[in-house]
Structure 1
Amino acid sequence: MLSVTPIPAFNDNYIWLLRQDTSDKVAVVDPGDAAPVIEVLEREGLTLASILITHHHPDHTGGLPKLIERYHPRVIGPDNPSINGIDERLGDGDECLVMGRRFEVMAVPGHTLDHIAFFAAGVPPLLFCGDTLFSGGCGRLFEGTAEQMHTSLSRLAALPGDTLVFAAHEYTLANLRFAKAADTDNTLLDAYQRDCQRSRELDRPTLPSNMARELQVNPFLRTDQRGVQRAASSQGDTDTPLATFTTLRAWKDAF
């Protein structure tokens, strides 16, 4: 069995730890800080075999130098020469085998131009999407265009509904506050917000989500819905799903 557990980092990052119950070798995703990873590995007697990187931002790569020096893991990430230490630079459609699961690499530009996601089919399907898709939201457009991000999110939305969505930040409650403004007719938001609030009060992560749920509650995946278009029309153009997405993203930036 492959288990995925969060290692909290900084204020709201999750470094995801992948572990098989028959081995002491593990993998981590987006280690922005080495210290919490080292603490878990040393406490539990684990060996870091692989690291997956989704994009170049320091809160996703900052721990690489210390982890590479200490454990010499195999590092897999985007084809971006600014990220030092990557052994396998992968792009859209490439595959890699990590912890016994075969992951497909998906190019998902928008938040950054080099952003990739890792998807593993199986039971259950797993998606490590970095800062592209959050529960109830999506990443800011630091380098890419709204069209690129809309296309990237559309690709992720087409994954199986039971796909577990391992985003890199605990942004869910803030995202849902915006979702309730951007999707006022959505009767599912209140219950999901209460569930997530309860999880946070118990110091539990709201993640992973799953793709079926995101299609129900995430306004950035619902830009073809009349309720979202109507709510966003007070902020800008909503003539097409892309125009609605562009308006939503600008609205969220200032929300």
Structure 2
Amino acid sequence: MIHVHQFPCLSDNYGYLVHDTVSHETVAIDTPDAKAYLFEAEQKGWRITQIWNTHWHPDHAGGNETIKAATGCTISGPAEVRGKFPIDRVVAHGETLMLGAVEAAVIDVSGHTNGHIAFHFASAGIAFVGDSVFALGCGRMFEGEPRQFWESLSRIKALPPETLLYCAHEYTASNARFALHADPDNAALAAYAEEIAAKRAANQWTVPTTLERELATNPFLRADDPVLMAKWGGTAPHETFAALRAAKDAF
């Protein structure tokens, strides 16, 4: 059985420690703030035995060296991490990682960066998606191109709808404002946005989110919806996605 410990760090990141109660292994999903990760692990009475990086950005892999020095853990991640931050094992789409006897599938979700990956624990119904998708949003397209990013989001869309998506930032309130602009007639979105506003007013987290809810409300996951395609143009979903991403960048 695995247990997820979530905590805020840096200005708007979420940190995640995933603990296997059988093997007592603990994996740090990304390392935005080494000091915070080591403190949270100590408070839980866990020892970090692994790090899994989703992509190379410093607020995701910048704590690798410090945590490895303190714990002796092993570090796995995409090839793009190598040469920028310490890594022991390069993993790619279709491979698996193990936390004790619990398996996580590695999924290519490139687009935000060209090597971005996600980790799907099918047996637990959870996925750690980094900056590929957020509640009501998706990551900026720093390195990829629209067709690539849409294909990545399509892999996330194909997961079981009840999957809990653990994304890396608390961006939901600003994402909601753009989503309402992009898809103003979506009743489910309007209700979701109201809930988000109430949570943030009470200083509550909006992450994790469910894939099912995002499929109904997240405009970037709905770029293949005829209503959005008609509104935002494009004869193919990746073209509509590109228009949405460009609009969000300028919003």
TM-score (norm 1): 0.93
- Which position in structure 2 is the counterpart of 1:35? 35
The answer on whether the counterparts of 2:4 and 2:17 sit within 8 Å (CA) in structure 1 is: yes
1:7 matches 2:3 = no
- Structure 1 segment 83-102 matched on structure 2, within 5 A: 83-102=84-103
- Which position in structure 2 is the counterpart of 1:213? 213
- Which position in structure 2 is the counterpart of 1:195? 195
- Which position in structure 2 is the counterpart of 1:109? 110
Structure 1, unmatched stretches of 5+, are none
The structural deviation recorded for 1:99 is: 4.5
Task: Note the alpha carbon deviations across 1:81-125, whole angstroms, 9 max, x for none.
Answer: 224321111011011112442011111110001111111212x41
CA gap of 1:107–1:21, structure 2 versus 1, over 3 A, is: same
Q: Distance in 2 between matches of 1:184 and 1:231?
A: 11
Worse-matched range after superposition: 11-20 or 127-136? 11-20
TM-score (norm 2): 0.94
Q: Secondary structure at the match of 1:7?
A: strand
- Which position in structure 2 is the counterpart of 1:135? 135
Report percent identity of matched pairs.
38
Counterpart amino acid of 2:93?
D
CA gap of 1:99–1:182, structure 2 versus 1, over 3 A, is: farther
The structural deviation recorded for 1:225 is: 1.9
RMSD, matched Cα: 1.6
- Structure 1 segment 119-198 matched on structure 2, within 5 A: 119-122=120-123, 124-198=124-198
Structure 2, unmatched stretches of 5+, are none
The structural deviation recorded for 1:50 is: 1.1
The answer on whether the counterparts of 2:25 and 2:99 sit within 8 Å (CA) in structure 1 is: no
The structural deviation recorded for 1:24 is: 5.0
Q: Secondary structure at the match of 2:247?
A: helix
Task: Note the alpha carbon deviations across 1:176-217, whole angstroms, 9 max, x for none.
Answer: 111111111100112212222232233322111111111001
The answer on whether the counterparts of 1:181 and 1:231 sit within 8 Å (CA) in structure 2 is: no
Aligned length: 250
CA gap of 1:239–1:63, structure 2 versus 1, over 3 A, is: same
Worse-matched range after superposition: 24-33 or 7-16? 24-33
1:63 matches 2:63 = yes
Q: Distance in 2 between matches of 1:218 and 1:238?
A: 18
1:247 matches 2:248 = no
